[in-house]
Amino acid sequence: MIPINKPWIGEEEEREVTSVLEETALTSAARDGGKRVRDFESLMKSYLKIRHVVSVNSGTAALYAALLAAGIKQGDEVLLPSFTFVATANAVVAAGGKPMFVDIKKDDYTMDVSDLKAKITKKSRIVIPVHLYGHPSDIDEIRELAEKHSLDVIEDACQSLGSSYKKKQTGTFGTLGCFSMYASKVLTAGEGGAIVTDSNELADKLKMIRNHGMVEGNDTRMLGLNLRLPELSAAIAKVQMQKLDKMLEIRRRNAELLSKLLLASSKKYEVKIPEETADKKFNWYLYTVAFQDERDSIKNHLVQNNVGATVYYSPPVHKMPFYAHAASETKLPATEWCAGHVLSLPVHPHVTEADVDRIANSLKSTIEKQNVS
């Protein structure tokens, strides 16, 4: 089976983790974190060209901490897509906010600015654009609209480390940007996350929030939890940062080869393949295609042929049991169409050129059989 994602872990990560174990400094409650936490944050800061990076123990924790740092109040409305992993909405609820779901664009699965504009109210406080699959949102238009209505922008860049908009890294446009280092992401710590900002004040708040609101120990000054990134996880993330460019290069090679192999079939059978623009460059976290007709039979056939094709995301958040009642009147036609028609294919660094050829041939033969029948 060619899995949908697989972390690229080697001897360098093993050596760094072993060093942490030998030193027995497995974590640190210091304000600035342990040695590996500081090393990782420094590397990520340089890569993103941002003033502050504050690491935490998951992408969900990053979103939650960012919302607290931005000063969310009980009942504040937070505008976000429903077509995302549920963590985006869960973090809003956990922080006391009210998710208000915005539709997406079919062409790249990111927030539809026209629907965002229609759903801003007097209670709106924060916008969370999601750079889904590593596809950058229309962040300039979103920021312009947010500024007009005095809204903070918190970027959900959990899937988009290495993606860029107008040659600037995603996650660095908003008031705050949030990243995930889950096992499947382009850079992993096993579990982990990071919040980035150019604000000194927000960085100080974030360091308190990830450590029970404390500054000097037992002096809690604001609401916080134990959201710290352990040294073991930071050790892996540190090494991963050092080889991030290489991992992204392999993903791009695989994605471009897959697009080349699928191009003729995509035009013949109306299969939408992902396309970059002059302004938007992908990290190719997931290679996501969309079919006009039946998706599930194609997915099942690919899985039977040992290709780990996976659906992200169905159902969308507003159709999940926890959210469905509150969102019963929500109209998100593009979101619901995409949830029923998209399919993601593996292009991670463990995928070889022979694997890409196999993925493409399996998909093409399946589409052709479906159209003949």
For residue 360, the domain's CATH number is: 3.90.1150.10
> Quick one: which of 235, 314, 315, 244 has its CA closest to 284?
244
Residue 154 to residues 22, 43, 68, 69, 268: CA-CA distances in angstroms? 38, 22, 11, 11, 40
226, 243, 260 - which closes a domain? 243
The answer on pLDDT for 372 being more than 80 is no
Are residues 216 and 306 both part of a single domain? no
- What value does the mean pLDDT take over residues 119-136? 98
Residues 109, 83: contact at Cβ < 8 Å? Answer: yes
- Statement to judge: residues 232 and 327 lie in one domain: no
Answer whether residue 5 is part of any domain. Answer: no
Q: Phi, psi (5° rounding) for residue 254?
A: -65, -40
Do 54 and 194 sit in the same domain of this protein?
yes
Q: Are strands 168-169 and 164-165 parallel, antiparallel or unpaired?
A: antiparallel
Tell me the per-residue pLDDT of 24-60, one tens digit each, with 9 for 90 and over.
999 999 999 999 999 999 999 999 999 999 999 999 9
User: What token pair was written down for 210?
Assistant: 């990830």
How many independent structural domains does the chain possess? 2
Indicate the pLDDT class of residue 76, thresholds 50, 70 and 90: very high
CATH number of the domain bearing residue 48: 3.40.640.10
Q: Is a pLDDT exceeding 60 seen at residue 328?
A: yes
Query: Do residues 287 and 366 both lie within one domain?
Result: yes
* Neighbouring C-alpha atoms within 13 Å toward the C-beta of 164: 12
What is the predicted pLDDT for the residue at 183? Answer: 97
Residue 264, pLDDT score? 84
Which stretches of 82-214 are assigned E, i.e. beta strand?
A: 98-102, 124-127, 152-156, 164-165, 168-169, 176-180, 193-197
Within a domain: 4:
no
Alpha helices in the chain (DSSP H): 11-23, 35-48, 59-69, 87-94, 113-119, 139-148, 200-209, 231-242, 244-269, 296-304, 321-324, 333-341, 353-372
**Residue 3 placed within a domain:** no
108 and 256 within one domain: no
Residue 310 in any domain: the answer is: yes
Q: Domain range for residue 316?
A: 245-372
Mean local confidence (pLDDT), 323-341: 92
Are 250 and 160 within one domain?
no
The answer on pLDDT for 265 being more than 90 is no
Residue where a domain stops, chosen among 195, 211, 243:
243
182 lies in the same domain as 275: no
Model pTM above 0.85: yes
- Name residue 289's beta-bridge partners: 343
Q: Which of 237, 233, 74, 91 is nearest to 156 (CA)?
A: 91
Q: Assess whether 181 and 319 both reside in one domain.
A: no
Share of the chain above pLDDT 70, in %: 99
Query: What length is written for the chain?
Result: 373
| 208 belongs to a structural domain | yes
Tell me the per-residue pLDDT of 301-320, one tens digit each, with 9 for 90 and over: 999 999 999 999 999 999 99
With cut-offs at 50, 70 and 90, classify the pLDDT of residue 373: low
User: Do residue 278 and residue 339 come from a single domain?
Assistant: yes
Q: Do residue 17 and residue 90 come from a single domain?
A: yes
Mark which of 181, 213, 243 sits at the end of a domain. 243
